[in-house]
Amino acid sequence: MPLGDRAVGSARATASAGFDALVFLSFGGPEQPDDVRPFLENVTRGRGVPPERLDEVVEHYLHFGGVSPINRLNLDMIAALQAELRTRGRDLPIYFGNRNWKPYLAEALRELRDDGCTRALVFPTSAWGGYSGCRQYHEDVARALADVGDDRLLLRKLPQFSGEPGFTAAAADAVRRAWAELGEGAPVRLVFTAHSIPVAADRTAGPPDGEGHLYSRQVADAAARVAAELGVTDFDLVWQSRSGPPQVPWLEPDVCDHLEALAERGVGRVVVCPIGFVSDHLEVIWDLDSEAREVADRLGMDYARAGTVGTDPSFIAMVADLIERYADGGGDLDALGCGDNGTLCRPGCCELPARPSR
Ligand SMILES: CC1=C(CCC(=O)O)c2cc3nc(cc4[nH]c(cc5[nH]c(cc1n2)c(C)c5CCC(=O)O)c(CCC(=O)O)c4C)C(CCC(=O)O)=C3C
Ligand SMILES: [Fe+2]
């Protein structure tokens, strides 16, 4: 741009830096039994997930009629967010797009472009850094843009939000409700859980000049902040839903193994808080409400699962705050996870480690 144009005035520069749409970017999930296999193939392409594991996961989805709750839950969040933005006088249109299933991100981009929008903020439904939680969403944006092939589009991904007080406040409220379900009685052990990832992927999570382990550090920080809000000093952090070949190490302990260990130590009551996920999607309702609950029942433990933040007003307000911080072109563009058109927040950030051969 010629210097003369730049000197026209900051007012114009600010106005032109504003955003005219929001893209709500999520994981996606099947809507009917026939979707399950192709969906899982999308998720695991090139990832070395053993076929036996996929067969098991197919069964989990079929147990719920081949329908993941994730799309409906995302639409609920979108409705709540739209309402919140409206009450703030910010009527940004919201477009819904996914990584692994319909509606795909590229469809959302075509739709917003056809509606005359060119500059969109992207809210990803992951709070975390790391390859799966952050970098892969940048890759989704880059791939969808290449697919749509319209170089007028600007997509700015919002940063990782695991450190936002509204996120942990909403999770703390959900733990309080789960506690209330158990009622008075013996002490209750508080157990946080998040999606396991390969140990090697955790090691490379974060900027390459940092200490790595960004994902597990963020999860541990968020858990500690929720516990602090509840006045709990002694709690556990465990992992769930591991896949991949058994000889590849993933973050441990697994939630079910941990319940066994707690029972051996005489713990009789637990609240499990799925801090790693924003909605009650399949990995929550299967792995925690079916598998882990069954283990707890067998061990004679009282078990309550805290809700996810979902449409909790303090979580939705946090998302709206985040959007407003960036909507007029402001906000910290160096914040971890923030990037334009699929550009990584740091070069080499959250590298996907080479997969060990079987
Ligand atoms: C860190 C993380 C998040 C949290 C951040 C975020 O929210 O993005 C997350 C979320 C989710 N994971 C989900 C589902 C699945 N994840 C899988 C596989 C994997 N997840 C991984 C990591 C994560 N996953 C990894 C390292 C793999 C191995 C394959 C690979 O390297 O990519 C598989 C394949 C089968 C299996 O092996 O389990 C499925 C079906 C659903 C949707 C559930 C629904 O349908 O309701 C959601 C929200
Ligand atoms: Fe996953």
Tens-place pLDDT, residues 310-351: 999 999 999 999 999 999 999 999 999 999 999 999 999 999
Q: What is the CA radius of gyration of the chain?
A: 21
Residue 70 CA to residue 78 CA, distance in Å, equals 12
Q: Is the CB of 243 under 6 A from ligand 1?
A: yes
Residue 7's SS3 state is coil
Residue 195 pLDDT > 50: yes
326 marked as binding residue: no
Residue 208 CA to residue 304 CA, distance in Å, equals 39
| The pLDDT value given to residue 1 | 31
95 marked as binding residue: no
Residue 356 CA to residue 310 CA, distance in Å, equals 36
Nearest CA to 278 out of 107, 149, 161, 179 is that of: 161
Residue 49 lies in a domain: yes
C-alpha 187 – ligand 2 centre gap (Å): 32
Does 268 share its domain with 255?
yes
Residue 269 pLDDT > 50: yes
Atom of ligand 1 nearest to the CA of 215: 1
Instruction: Count the neighbouring beta carbons within 10 Å of the beta carbon of residue 330.
Output: 12
68 marked as binding residue: yes
C-alpha 195 – ligand 2 centre gap (Å): 7
Contact status, residue 59 vs residue 161, Cβ threshold 8 Å? no
Residue 271 pLDDT > 70: yes
Contacts of 310 (CB under 8 A, 6+ apart): 73, 76, 77, 278, 279, 280
Does 148 share its domain with 250?
no
Q: Which ligand is nearest to the CA of 125?
A: 1
Strands of the sheet with 339-340, listed across from one edge: 94-98, 21-26, 119-124, 154-157, 339-340
**Taking the mean position of all CA atoms in its chain, how far away is CA 35?**
22
Q: Is the CB of 36 under 6 A from ligand 1?
A: no
137 marked as binding residue: yes
Beta bridge partners of residue 270, listed in sequence order: 189, 303
Residue 357 pLDDT > 60: no
C-alpha 350 – ligand 1 centre gap (Å): 16
CATH label of the domain that carries residue 336 = 3.40.50.1400
At residue 356 the predicted structure's pLDDT band, cuts being 50, 70 and 90, is low
Q: Is the CB of 202 under 6 A from ligand 1?
A: no
Does 197 share its domain with 284?
yes
C-alpha 293 – ligand 1 centre gap (Å): 20
pTM for the whole thing? Answer: 0.94
Contact status, residue 205 vs residue 214, Cβ threshold 8 Å? yes
pLDDT tens digits, 44-95: 998 989 999 999 999 999 999 999 999 999 999 999 999 999 999 999 999 9
Q: Is the CB of 29 under 6 A from ligand 1?
A: yes
Does 244 share its domain with 279?
yes
Q: For residue 14, give its domain range.
A: 3-161+313-340
Q: Which of 195, 219, 240 to mutate to test the pocket of ligand 1 (most atoms within 8 A of CB)?
A: 195
Residue 351 lies in a domain: no
Residue 330 CA to residue 212 CA, distance in Å, equals 28
Tally of structural domains, the chain: 2
Contact status, residue 315 vs residue 115, Cβ threshold 8 Å? no
Atom of ligand 1 nearest to the CA of 69: 46
Residue 53 CA to residue 244 CA, distance in Å, equals 8
Q: Which ligand is nearest to the CA of 133?
A: 1
Does 183 share its domain with 299?
yes
Does 155 share its domain with 173?
no
